[in-house]
Amino acid sequence: MKAIIFSGWIGLAVATAATSDDAGDHHHDRKVDHLVARSALQRGEIMPLEKLLSIVRPKLKDEVVGIKFEMHQGHWYYEFRTVDEDGYLHYIHADAKTAKIETVENHP
């Protein structure tokens, strides 16, 4: 079951990749976003999501309920949305090239 969920997360992240420039504009065309993510991977600007997850997942204490792919200030990030056992939502931003966790936002 976990393998199915895990592969679903990967598919979800690629299919719903959202990019933005510094002005905050968002691309909502999923096909275009997928091509942007694939191109960034081919250029070596990001690591494959599966590899990044293998590094980041042990650091995430809670259940991952969503993944977003986005650009901020010229850098690619994965945003992991997690929910803790009390139902609180957390946003964890990891550098898409290094897997370094950059920010954690807690939303009660």
The CATH number of the domain where 10 resides is what?
A: 3.10.450.40
Q: In angstroms, rounded to a whole number, what is the distance separating the alpha carbons of residues 63 and 6? A: 11
Per-residue pLDDT of the chain (108 residues; tens, 9 = 90+): 444 444 444 444 444 444 444 444 444 455 557 888 899 999 999 999 999 999 999 998 899 999 999 998 889 999 999 999 999 999 999 999 999 999 888 887
Contact call for residues 15 and 34 (beta carbons, < 8 A) = yes
Domain that holds residue 50: 2-107
DSSP-based helix, strand, coil % in the chain, nearest 5? 35, 30, 30
Separation CA 53–CA 7 (nearest Å): 11
Total domains in the fold of the chain: 1
